[in-house]
Chains A and B, each alone.
Chain A
Amino acid sequence: MMRRIDRHNYEEFFLDYLEGNMNDSEKKNLESFLALNPDLREELDEMCLVELEEEDIIFDKSSLKQIPFETDFEDFCVAKLEGDLEQEEEIAFTKYLNENLIGKAQYQLFERTKLKADNDIIYPDKEELKRKERKIIPYWMISGVGIAASVLLLFSVWNTSISDKNAMQDSAKKVAYNDSVKKVVITPTKDSNRLEKLAGINSEPKTTKQEVVKSGIEKVENVIAKSQPIEKRTDRIVTKQAITENPIDTKQAASQKVSLPEVIKTAELELLANVEVVDQKIEVSNQEKEMNELPVNTGLANLGMSWKSSVKAKRKNNSLLYAVAKMGVDKIGEIAGKKVQLDKQYDSETEKTRLNFNTKGLGFSTSIK
């Protein structure tokens, strides 16, 4: 429905007319209204005069765009070099450089600040820095080597103990064989009765013995001649054979020259002022027997001396060590799930006992006696 125009709302119609927002029928309607109100036609004409015409103004907008490039030229140069510019900035700045020769020359200087790696500089000892690859050792190899190592260790300990004992035995033999064996001749004396009394004193032999050792053979001769206790003591350490051969009776000794048991003088004797040790070294036996037999079968056993039993003990130790080794090896083999053997073998040709160890990848044999 068309709006009705009157003197109260005509301005609204005038504005629409001036802005070209009226259709033809509305324009006709407005014309008829103006014909009836000529004073308002004047007003409409005045309104039309206010309309401004568009001017053609020429302004160089690109100069505005160049302001940042000019003020921060170097930053733009670096940013372009580093690739930090946005795509639009990149295009605009490139355009700016192309239009500005001085700027372009400056930018080219920036381009030359790009460093190039000097490939002639190389690290001289690269091979030294390298490492060898860590090899993965299979479990069976570790277990095999472990077993072998433990058995070797066991044997080395064993052999060391055996050789130690041998060395001890050898040295004992050397003492027995090499040191001069002196015969002590006791001349019966008149003091034998007095010495008999002294025999009752148990503490006496110690000092007497020590004196014997320290003062040499002559002193020994004298002291023994005077001292009953030494004869008593020799009674205790003679072998049965020696006893039969040389029955020493203090009463008889008074009337005849008695060949007393040989006294073995050793370096040890001088050093060890110990009756027990001295006793160990004093033997009553004939020379030949002494030379042929080890002091094992002497009366020392009666004194509880160690060397007689040492051989047995050694054997005992050996067999014990063997048992331990055997058990250990069996157990290791069981744990490792491998066949591990440890055998003791007697070789009649060499008269030696050998130990054989066998496992996967390793086997050895060692002579133990």
Chain B
Amino acid sequence: MNTVEYNKSVDKYADGMFRFILKNIKDEDKARDIVQDSFEKLWRNIENVNYQKVKSYLFTTAYHTMIDLIRKEKRKEDFENVDVKEYSHSEQYSDFKEVLNIALEKLSDIQRSVILLRDYEGYSYAEIAKITDLSESQVKVYIYRARKNLKSFIGSIETLV
């Protein structure tokens, strides 16, 4: 991979990475740092990274940096262990996007990550497995659970509305 390809990668993937990380950690500065670190790592390994696989490389690096950060900060909340009705408050949501964002925040870190990779970036189970260091079947299970949890949250809100 050369400098031109590296710069192309910045144009093509920096936004997606930033979006993916920001949706996960909700901290703009840290999301920027993670994206920057990932590109710095790419630059250091520019000779060894194939341009065809650079997206996967970048997302893998960013994902693991993020996971390390999350572990450090111990900001874990597992949606699976929380009763959805707890969130079924009487507040009116201005739009569905907001509802979905809240639902997304309620997911566990791993569920959120896999579903974001799936929906935002259109990755296959195999690609997500590679990025997240999980097996394909584990990825599938997390995605299914995430969808059910999201649907459950949306359903509970819509019933109230």
Contact = CB atoms under 8 A, between A and B. Distances in A.
A125 B100 contact: no
B100 A109 contact: no
B3 A131 contact: yes
Contacts of A132: 3
A174 interface: no
Interface stretch (B13-21, B49-57, B71-79, B84-92): B13-21
A312 interface: no
Contact of B3 (A113, A128, A134): A134
A77 B151 CA distance: 11
Contact-size category for B: 35 or more
A116 interface: yes
Question: Could you tell me the dominant secondary structure of chain B's interface residues?
Answer: helix
User: Counting chain A CB atoms within 10 Å of each CB, which of B14, B43, B104 scores highest?
Assistant: B14
Contacts, number: 83
Contacts of B43: 131
Interface in A99-144: 106, 109-110, 112-118, 121-126, 128-134
A151 interface: no
Contacts of B35: 123, 129
B18 A123 contact: yes
B87 to A, nearest CB: 15
Nearest to B10: A129
Contacts of A130: 6-7, 10
A118 B97 CA distance: 10
Contact of B144 (A78, A115, A123, A131): A78
A126 B11 contact: yes
A122 B146 CA distance: 25
Contacts of A75: 144
A121 B18 contact: yes
B154 A115 contact: no
Nearest to A115: B119
B6 to A, nearest CB: 6
A113 B18 contact: no
Contacts of A121: 15, 18-19, 22
Given A78-B143, A78-B148, A132-B3, A113 B100 contact: yes
A43 interface: no
A114 B144 CA distance: 12
Contact of A124 (B6, B32, B96): B32
B4 interface: yes
B88 to A, nearest CB: 15
Contacts of A122: 15, 18-19
A336 B118 CA distance: 58
Interface in B137-161: 140, 143-144, 146-148, 150-151, 154-155, 158
Nearest to A125: B32
A116 B116 CA distance: 9
A293 to B, nearest CB: 69
Contacts of A249: none
A275 B68 CA distance: 76
Interface in B5-46: 6-7, 10-11, 14-19, 22, 32, 35-36, 39, 43
B115 interface: yes
Nearest to B35: A123
Given A81-B147, A117-B19, A131-B7, A112 B96 contact: yes
A63 to B, nearest CB: 26
B150 A113 contact: yes
A110 B143 CA distance: 12
Contacts of B148: 74, 78
A75 B148 CA distance: 8
Contacts of A45: none
A110 B147 contact: yes
User: Counting chain A CB atoms within 10 Å of each CB, which of B3, B96, B118 scores highest?
Assistant: B3
B32 A109 contact: no
Contacts of B15: 121-123, 126
A83 to B, nearest CB: 10
12 contacts: A77-B151, A78-B143, A78-B147, A82-B118, A82-B143, A106-B155, A109-B155, A110-B147, A112-B154, A129-B14, A131-B43, A134-B3
Query: A-B pairs with the 5 shortest C-beta distances?
Result: A115-B119, A113-B150, A123-B18, A123-B14, A117-B120
